[in-house]
Amino acid sequence: MTTPLRMRSLLPVFGFLLAGCAAGGMQESATHLSPTECRDLTALRSNAPPTMEQHHSELSALRKAGYDPSRFFDPYYPDDLQAAQRQVDLWFQADCQPARPG
């Protein structure tokens, strides 16, 4: 009979931990894509013949955006892939565009 009481007392603790994880995300000013990912994504967008390294960089960026290609049956495919692609596009625009002379 003590186990249900113990579980009930831990429930608020888990709630606080979950709230802390949700509130403590990444800083907005931090870059999301590495310089290598920016270089390789730029090359892929220029319609040059792709290399294996460029594909690995693209996959790395998609994984950072939340896409997990390792799941055997993904009930959210292709929506989760497309959402990750949109996120990577936003990061690419913010992190990878060269500074324009002004």
Domain extent listing, the chain = 32-102
Stretch 68-73: mean pLDDT, rounded?
A: 90
Higher pLDDT, 81 or 98: 81
Please report the pLDDT score of residue 101 as a whole number: 58
- The 10s digit of each residue's pLDDT in 83-102 is 999 999 999 999 998 755 55
DSSP single-letter state for residue 33: S
SS3 30: coil
CA dist 44 and 91 (Å) reads 15
pLDDT band at 5 (very low <50, low <70, confident <90, very high): low
